[in-house]
Structure 1
Amino acid sequence: MQATKYISSTQNSLVKKVLLLREKSRERKKTGLFVLEGLREIEIANNANYHIDTILYCQEILENSDILQSFNANQLISVSGEVYKKMAYRDSTEGIIAIAKAKDHELSSLAFETKNPLILIAEAPEKPGNIGALLRTADAANLDAVLIANPKTDLYNPNIIRSSVGCVFSREVKMGSTTEIISYLKREGFQIFCAALSASKDYTTVDFKEPTAIVVGTEHSGLSTEWLNNASQNIIIPMEGAIDSMNVSVSAAILIFEAKRQRKINK
């Protein structure tokens, strides 16, 4: 498949649009568009039924052009090496960038394909690297959803897309306030297991086999009292060294895969 258009000027209006979408959360929210970069990320987004508006690629850099066959000629724009380097966000680049439409992340649109869902909830995560790592874990465990309570970071921040290696697209991700999410969980009959230091049980002693929400907070302040007061049970990963906690994404992974282990035995 060949592009119908070629851009050689870094002053082109579409190039400026890509830069604006990449750098400004306000622009992403206003337009409902975002930028993603890289073969794997674009392929995952496309397979997850994200609408890809435009593909910009540099023939000089793109080693595998097979992905272009997934799009029609009107979606494809070839660009010069200079233009591509102007638009590219990552240091190591693969020669392909897409403009795509954001999905609906409202809690009200959440639906499950299973009657016994296992979900992860992160309250007020700020660091894109941690959010990306949580999404990678959720993908690895094939979780039914990831909910972000009191979000502080734009989900389509390029650092989240990069650190999640595209897993931001492969999972069902919804957002809402802590109060809204707790109300939803109770209404839908979820067990709520909050990772916390106080009033907690060893995570290996609780039963994750029913519809379950595993809730983690920030490394700095943990979970809010609203979560702790509404938990079915607070749980803890016993520490045997000098510190009392681990990176939030590591902790979440341990808890999630214990739940997966229990559910596998229960089959």
Structure 2
Amino acid sequence: MKEAKLISSIQNPLVKKILLLKEKSRERKKTGLFVVEGKREIELAQKGSFTLKTILFCPEILKDFALNPLIQNSKIEVIEISRPVYEKIAHRETTEGILAIVKSKEHGLEKILFKNDYPLVLVAEAPEKPGNIGALLRTADAAAVDAVFIANPKSDIYSPNIIRSSVGCVFTNQIGMGATEDIIDFLKEKEIKIYCAALTASKNYVECNFKGGIAIVVGTEASGLTDTWLQSSDQNLIIPMQGEIDSMNVSVSAAILIFEAKRQRGY
């Protein structure tokens, strides 16, 4: 293993910087950096072609053999930290004694590339709850959708809560972010049909054809989709409810629709 620097004081400037990156979205946007905890999440970030700037590890917790595969790139700064420092900057106790400072990516629509002629994408309009965003990203990863779009984003996808709730799937999905109108224009330009999850003027989802280029669009549980989406919809979808309520958690609904699309496509 390459020789590592040592930080043993919680007053160290880098410790303070890490805390700011974890706690302040403004700091993450200003620096273009964010913090990732845990070996699995860091490995997923590397697989997703994210640039790791610094790795910090606590040798009392992490064994060298677990660290070595992560630091093959000689440009990655490696810093050994004491247990008090780790306990200060770690969000969770179960992250195996390792954290990384990672460079964020741009998520403009121009960055989105499709590898096939009939992409399946998920669009979430204005999601706010980290748990829901994380679950949507996990579903998208499990189904290997071609892209996830977040319209009118309200949350920073590099916040520790979203990274944690997505179990690192924020790194495994192709993510595009933008205004609703811009995403609609992008989808129409790519000849991707817009299927909106909605309660009105809707068709049972199992009766819909998901075999072409399709964008499955979901809104918030509180207010659903805005009129802008509904007016641009090629087809509204509904999942029939047999109980007393008329809707489910947005990530559950998205999963049902996405995997029906995958079933029709023969996966």
- Give the TM-score, by structure 2 length: 0.97
Matched residue type, 1:34: F
Counterparts of residues 209-224 of structure 1 (less than 5 Å): 209-224=211-226
Matched residue type, 1:238: P
Over the matched positions of the two proteins, sequence identity in percent amounts to 62
Counterparts of residues 170-249 of structure 1 (less than 5 Å): 170-249=172-251
Choose the corresponding residue for 1:87, options 62, 71, 89: 89
Query: Distance in 2 between the 1:74 and 1:102 partners?
Result: 15
Query: Distance in 2 between the 1:166 and 1:189 partners?
Result: 30
Query: Distance in 2 between the 1:236 and 1:87 partners?
Result: 44
What is aligned with 1:131? 133
What is aligned with 1:166? 168
What is aligned with 1:48? 48
Residue 6 of structure 1 and its aligned partner are, at CA, apart by 0.6
8 Å CA contact retained: 1:3, 1:75: no
Query: Distance in 1 between the 2:163 and 2:187 partners?
Result: 27
What is aligned with 2:29? 29
Deviations 1:103-130 (A, max 9, x none): 1101122111111110000000000000
Residue 72 of structure 1 and its aligned partner are, at CA, apart by 2.8
Deviations 1:184-232 (A, max 9, x none): 1111101110000000000000100000000000000000011011100
8 Å CA contact retained: 2:6, 2:79: yes
Matched residue type, 1:43: E
8 Å CA contact retained: 2:53, 2:75: no
Query: Distance in 2 between the 1:151 and 1:69 partners?
Result: 33
Query: Distance in 1 between the 2:70 and 2:44 partners?
Result: 14
What is aligned with 2:158? 156
Paired positions, count: 265
Matched residue type, 2:125: E
Query: Distance in 2 between the 1:75 and 1:69 partners?
Result: 9
Equivalent position SS for 2:141: helix
- Aligned residues: CA RMSD: 1.2
Query: Distance in 1 between the 2:75 and 2:185 partners?
Result: 47
8 Å CA contact retained: 1:125, 1:131: yes
Query: Distance in 2 between the 1:227 and 1:69 partners?
Result: 45
Change (3 A) 1:73 1:115: closer
Residue 91 of structure 1 and its aligned partner are, at CA, apart by 3.6
8 Å CA contact retained: 1:39, 1:67: no
Instruction: List runs of 5+ in structure 2 lacking aligned partners.
Output: none
Matched residue type, 1:21: L
Matched residue type, 2:46: N
- Give the TM-score, by structure 1 length: 0.97
Query: Distance in 1 between the 2:260 and 2:252 partners?
Result: 13
**2:223 is equivalent to residue 253 of structure 1:** no
**2:104 is equivalent to residue 108 of structure 1:** no
Change (3 A) 1:73 1:171: closer
Equivalent position SS for 2:170: helix
Query: Distance in 1 between the 2:3 and 2:265 partners?
Result: 48
Matched residue type, 1:19: L
Deviations 1:134-161 (A, max 9, x none): 0000000001100000000001010000
**2:10 is equivalent to residue 10 of structure 1:** yes
Matched residue type, 2:12: N
Choose the corresponding residue for 2:72, options 66, 70, 73: 70
Residue 48 of structure 1 and its aligned partner are, at CA, apart by 1.0
What is aligned with 1:19? 19
Matched residue type, 2:90: A
